[in-house]
Amino acid sequence: MDWGDYSMGYIQKGTLSFRKTNVALFFAGFSTFAIMYSTQPLLPAFSREFHISPAVASLSLSMTTIAVAVSLLFFGSLSEVEGRKPLMIFSLIASSLLAVLIAFVPNYHFLLFFRILQGVVLAGLPAVAMAYLSEEIEPASLGIAMGIYISGNSVGGMSGRIIIGMLTDYFNWRVALGSIGILSFLASLLFWYLLPESKHFQPRPLEIGKLLRSMANHLRDPGLLCLYGIGFFLMGSFVTLFNYIGYQLLAPPYLLSQTIVGWIFVIYSVGTFSSTWMGRLADIYGRRQMLWVALLIMASGAGITLSTILVLKILGIAIFTFGSFGSHSLASSWVGHRATHDKAQASSLYLLFFYAGASFGGTSGGTLWLSFGWVGVISMILGFLLLALFLSIRLNLITPSINR
């Protein structure tokens, strides 16, 4: 590693190390989100093949995200001892291999079992990635670096869904899931090769009592609690919309094919742009103002999807996605700035709430879908976003000098 790429221990924007870090974390985000949400476009297929309701089919995603949420604290704490990069490599490779195994499960119960295991090992990457960036990237460039990482998430989510939709139509969902596992394994190897070793990380012995006290301190911080709540409602809204939009578009009056529904996820490309763009604007204008804007964009997009005109519905999904990735980029980088100690654990707590929101919203939305249709789904999403906006306003009242 060229120490000229570092200043005061931080990787500087414009250097080779900065570019390699961004590319590596982009591939990591790609792999993680392609695997984590690989079953989302397959929910209607699971309902048909296994004769289960939409809410039960959604467990193939909700059980994974809740396993991620619970495991995040373990991996975040373990990374304080073992280091950042080794745990991220383990997470990526193990989850890729499990993705291949899931393609061969004999029934839905085994599918859920392996998806829970997959959620456990997947947690290693998101639990550590934000802490790695916070420690290694110069503070002035953290917003854009975090945005690039989040954009990898959006590309992974988008590409995974498109590939799965097409392969499911041409072959079946088993071939589709196995293919995602192979692609993710290749992305994992690129991550291993490209990511610079930690230079700013200081290992510490695992002290359970100290970690619990540190966690309690994070949970007593009203600013962090607001950010955790925002993460919960953001992900609950996002997963709910994408869980059930497939059911609506595959049914009358649209009757779209699985391939076309998969291609609708190309809308994720706007998230690739918005997460980086809003991260850059936040570095200039402040996170507070940009977070408000992003939440309002999400709510506007969700409302537009109530239109029965297909073009407007897709436009609404695009606007919603734009605001969603921007909001997550802003809130997640804010956690790194807000936490004054044990940043990996603070980030893990944020992601615990984030993925708990995905599990809660993703499954609850199924009940509303069955009872009230798309209006019920959007009503829940708008309620979540209103609560997130309230928390963002509350956050503005807490030590404004820290929360700029």
Q: What is the CATH number of the domain that holds 31?
A: 1.20.1250.20
Residues of the chain with pLDDT under 50: 1-4, 6, 400-404
Would residue 404 count as lying in a domain?
A: no
Would residue 375 count as lying in a domain?
A: yes
Would residue 220 count as lying in a domain?
A: yes
- Classify 294 as helix, strand or coil: helix
Would residue 167 count as lying in a domain?
A: yes
Q: How confident is the model at residue 317, as a pLDDT?
A: 93
Q: How confident is the model at residue 402, as a pLDDT?
A: 45
Would residue 242 count as lying in a domain?
A: yes
Q: How confident is the model at residue 362, as a pLDDT?
A: 85
Query: Which DSSP state fits 199?
Result: S
Q: How far apart are CA 107 and CA 319, in angstroms?
A: 37
Q: How confident is the model at residue 202, as a pLDDT?
A: 66
Q: How confident is the model at residue 213, as a pLDDT?
A: 77
Would residue 70 count as lying in a domain?
A: yes
Q: How many domains does the chain have?
A: 1
Would residue 169 count as lying in a domain?
A: yes
**What digits encode the pLDDT tens for the residues 203-261?**
566 667 777 777 777 788 888 899 999 999 999 999 899 889 988 898 888 888 878 88
**What digits encode the pLDDT tens for the residues 68-96?**
888 877 776 676 666 678 888 999 999 99
Would residue 3 count as lying in a domain?
A: no
Q: How confident is the model at residue 401, as a pLDDT?
A: 40
Q: Which domain holds residue 71?
A: 10-195+205-396
95: its two tokens: 């989850």
Q: How confident is the model at residue 87, as a pLDDT?
A: 85
Q: How far apart are CA 299 and CA 324, in angstroms?
A: 10
**What digits encode the pLDDT tens for the residues 281-296?**
877 777 778 888 999 9
